[in-house]
Amino acid sequence: MIPFNVPPCVGDELDYVKQAIDSHKICGDGAFTKKCNAWLEERFGAQKVLLTTSGTTALDMAMLLCGLQPGDEVILPSYTFSSTATSAVLAGAKLVFVDVRPDTMNIDETKIEAAITDRTKVIMVVHYAGVACEMDTILDIARRHGLKVVEDAAQGVMSSYKGRALGTIGDFGCYSFHETKNYSMGEGGALVINDPACNERAEILREKGTNRAKFFRGQVDKYTWVDFGDSYLPSELNAAYLWAQLLHADEINDDRMRTWNAYREAFQPLADAGKVELPVIPEGCVHNAHMFYIKCKDLEERTALIRYLKEHDILAVFHYIPLHSAPAGRKFGRFDGEDLYTTKESERLVRLPLYYGLTETDRAQVIRHVLAFYGA
């Protein structure tokens, strides 16, 4: 069976995990966490990055740091993972879903402004498949209406928009290092803070409401409980695993990109013949090969393709069921405007196996069977 995903492993993860164990420091904010934070800051030109226990908790932190009040509204796409939405709900917000663009499956920037009310506080964008949203337009709207922008860049680590790393463009950026993402620590994530004025509040929030981070820097002589907070520090064991991957970040990226490009090339004739649609990478966007999907004619054809591939020992999957149609989505939010593409396009989309280390033989197998399904 060719799996849909295999968690990334470069080979020296255990060496670093052992170093963490031998250092007798396995709780949060030890040497490996600091190294990962610094690497991400330097590589992406970020002002401040803090590892978290998941992409979801990075989103939770971002939304809490936006200072929402009950009744405030957050604009977001409906075509996303539940984490994007639930972080806003946890912070007390009402959800206002906006349609996606069919070419990138990202929030349609031309439909955001109509969804803004006097309660709107935040625009949450999701860089789907590691392909950037139209950030210039979105930042301009946010500036004119005094809104914050949170980037769900869970899938966008190592991607960029007009030369800027995803996650570093809005007020906050959120990465995921879940086992299904390009770089992993099992469960984990990171919060990118782009306004230095938020650094201290973020550290307090992450450290159970204490100013412990300041204490360790020698800025206060004892630490104390100063505000509400939670614990968002990942274990050093997880950070050590991630550190191994970051040192091989380019190798992982190149490997995924080779598969992505091979799929793109192999299926171009199907697209030219009008049988499928392929991912679109807008100008100015550099993506990270997080995902390769094709869009079938409709739901029926997609179901048949997934079944066909399974019969040939290939696992292809779909997602997301639009959030506004889910029980919690109906309870906490509303869809603004018309759902022209969210539902229709989500029903056509199928994701093919793509992971670090996918062999050329397996890749060729996937290509052969997809082409065969379409009689090519």
Helix (H), strand (E) at residue 203:
helix 199-206
Binding to ligand PLP by residue 234, rule CB under 6 A? no
| Selected range binding ligand PLP among 7-15, 18-26, 148-156, 356-364, rule: CB under 6 A | 148-156
| Selected range binding ligand PLP among 54-62, 160-168, 191-199, 234-242, rule: CB under 6 A | 54-62
Q: Which residue has the tokens 């159970």?
A: 208
Task: Select which of 181, 208, 222, 297 is catalytic.
Answer: 181
Q: Is 181 a catalytic residue?
A: yes
Return the structure tokens found at 208: 């159970």
Q: Smaller CB distance to ligand PLP: residue 106 or 211?
A: 106
Residues 150-179 that bind ligand PLP (CB under 6 A): 152, 154-155, 176, 178
| Selected range binding ligand PLP among 37-45, 50-58, 238-246, 321-329, rule: CB under 6 A | 50-58
Going by C-alpha positions, the residue among 243, 245, 232 that lies closest to residue 28 is 232
DSSP-assigned letter for residue 337: S
**Residue 140 CB-half CA count within 13 A:** 6
Going by C-alpha positions, the residue among 123, 120, 117 that lies closest to residue 135 is 123
Are 97 and 336 within 8 A, CB to CB?
Answer: yes
Binding to ligand PLP by residue 80, rule CB under 6 A? yes
Are 204 and 193 within 8 A, CB to CB?
Answer: no
Binding to ligand PLP by residue 245, rule CB under 6 A? no
Task: Please state the closest distance from residue 201 (CB atom) to ligand PLP, in A.
Answer: 22
Task: Please state the closest distance from residue 84 (CB atom) to ligand PLP, in A.
Answer: 5
Q: Smaller CB distance to ligand PLP: residue 35 or 290?
A: 290
Are 97 and 323 within 8 A, CB to CB?
Answer: yes
DSSP-assigned letter for residue 349: E
Q: What is the CA radius of gyration of the chain?
A: 21
Residues of this chain that bind ligand PLP (CB under 6 A): 54-56, 80-81, 83-84, 126, 152, 154-155, 176, 178, 189
Active site residues: 181
